[in-house]
Amino acid sequence: MTRVLVLNGPNLGRLGRRQPEIYGHTTHAELAHQCVEWGQALGLDVEVRQTNHEGEMLDWLNAAADDGNPVVLNAAAWTHYSYAIHDACAQLTAPLVEVHISDPRQRPEEFRHTSVVTPFAVEVVAGHGVDGYRLALELLARG
């Protein structure tokens, strides 16, 4: 069974409470549970993690590169400016799918229109709410 890491960046631990009009009412715990279930149905061993600490995210991405694990990444705010995240994604040896609950390109803030992750992603899934994670896992399961 292929191991897949679903990695979520800053503030995503507040899903369900933070701007539900943008991010919905599903909590991070509920999202994690759904991702594991979706993964099992697709023959994937899914582990979901969330951090507000960039160094921790870098450690996870570096370990995924070393272990050859596919990654579903919602880097949240780091998507738009973190060259450290950019460099860690460049090292990945298995597919990376970039996920965003909202569609950053449709958001009014200009800074959200740039992603330092996209150059390394096999696909970007944006604007599908938490269901975007299911779509990302399906993409990885298809290979």
Q: What is the pLDDT along the chain (143 residues), one digit of tens a residue?
A: 899 999 999 999 998 888 777 777 899 999 999 999 999 999 999 999 999 999 999 999 999 999 999 999 999 999 999 999 999 999 999 999 999 998 877 766 776 658 999 999 999 999 999 999 999 999 999 98
Please report which helix (H) or strand (E) contains residue 42, including its range: helix 28-42
Beta bridge partners, 50, equal 8
Look at residue 99 and tell me if it is in a domain: yes
Place of tokens 């096999």: 122
Residue 115 forms part of a structural domain: no
Q: In this structure, is residue 53 part of a structural domain?
A: yes
Q: Say which CATH number the domain at 59 has.
A: 3.40.50.9100
Q: Is 8 helix (H, G, I), strand (E, B) or coil?
A: strand
Is residue 43 assigned to a domain?
Answer: yes
| pTM for the structure as a whole | 0.93
Please, which residues have CB within 8 angstroms of residue 119's CB and are 6 or more apart in sequence?
86, 89, 90
AA identity, residue 25: H
Position 128 in a domain: no
Do the beta carbons of residue 24 and residue 130 sit within 8 Å?
A: yes
Tokens for 109, please give them: 């803030």
| In-domain check, residue 124 | no
Residue at 105 is within a domain: yes
Binding residue per annotation — 101? yes
Which is the catalytic residue, given 23, 28, 86, 133?
23
Binding residue per annotation — 82? no
Judge whether 133 counts as a catalytic residue.
no
Closest to 31 measured CA to CA, from 74, 80, 88, 60: 74
**Residue 67 belongs to what domain range?**
2-109+134-142
Which residue, among 91, 97, 102, has the nearest Cα to 72 in the 3D structure?
A: 97
Does residue 23 carry a catalytic annotation?
Answer: yes
> What's the structural domain count of the chain?
1
Has residue 127 been placed in a domain?
A: no
